[in-house]
Structures are given as structure tokens and as C-alpha cells.
A = this chain, B = another copy of it.
């Protein structure tokens, strides 16, 4: 896993290459996603940052703009979780898919080599040049099943 400093350098490099500027707000959002491994909506990030850094002024629009920038740069990735809305996570990890508990909202990541291979083959079969893929398994997690059976 890349270190935060490594990530920061990468981000600064990217900004420089595109004549963009390194700002406190952009740094905070990047750092937040690095430190808080998980899946967040723009609103989540906005609220938590305001709370954790009352000294820094930050607007929701900046969060949206920065997330878009980070996503275009392939530093973060997003995924839509139905009712829970679109969520962002640091996208530097190895590619992975998600299990979502429809009851409590818990998200588990997994990686399966066989599925990855099949996806490649399917894309090939239809002459698609694959650029990405998402797979979500919805269900009830262990804890919620237990809670249910006890109720």
C-alpha cells in the first residue's frame, strides 16, 4: 500500500502536470479518504471535514469538484449503492468488488480471480474493449441475520 506521502506526491505531480493548484481543501479531502478507509458520500465527507477541521472553511461544492477531479485522475473511485447514494473510496487498492448488506448498509470488499477472468472473456466475446467493471452482491450480512432470527 502506498504511503500517504507517496500519494500526496503523486497528487501534486498530477496537479502540476495539469496546471492546477494544490490547495488546503484538496489536501484535506485526499487525506480524509486515505485515513478513513471506507465508502463515503460527498455529503459524508463534507460534514466530517467540517467537524474535524472547524478552522478550515470548506464548501460542499468544493467537495464535489475535488471528488470529480480525483475520480478522473483515478485516485478515487465511486460506486452507486442504490438507496445509500453514490459513494467514493480511495481507488489505489487492487481492484475489488463489493458485498452490501441491504439491512445495515455494511460494505465488504472482496476480490475473486475467477470472476475477473470471466469478465475479460465476456468482454472479448462481445468484442468490447473493457474499461471497467463493477460487481455488487446484495444480501443480509451475518450479524443482521442473527438479529433477525432473534427478533
Contact = CB atoms under 8 A, between A and B. Distances in A.
A128 B101 contact: yes
B123 A137 contact: yes
B99 A122 contact: yes
Nearest to A110: B122
Given A119-B137, A130-B137, A130-B138, 11 more contacts: A80-B80, A99-B128, A101-B128, A112-B118, A115-B115, A123-B139, A128-B141, A130-B139, A132-B138, A132-B139, A134-B136
Q: How many identical chains are in the complex?
A: 2
Contacts of A142: 126-128
A21 interface: no
A143 to B, nearest CB: 9
A99 B141 CA distance: 28
Contacts of A2: none
Interface of A: 80, 82, 99, 101-102, 108, 110, 112, 114-115, 118-119, 122-123, 125-142, 145
B133 A129 contact: no
Nearest to A132: B138
Given A99-B122, A99-B123, A122-B110, A135 B132 contact: no
B145 A138 contact: no
Chain A to chain B: the 4 pairs with minimum beta-carbon distance, closest first: A127-B142, A128-B139, A135-B135, A130-B139
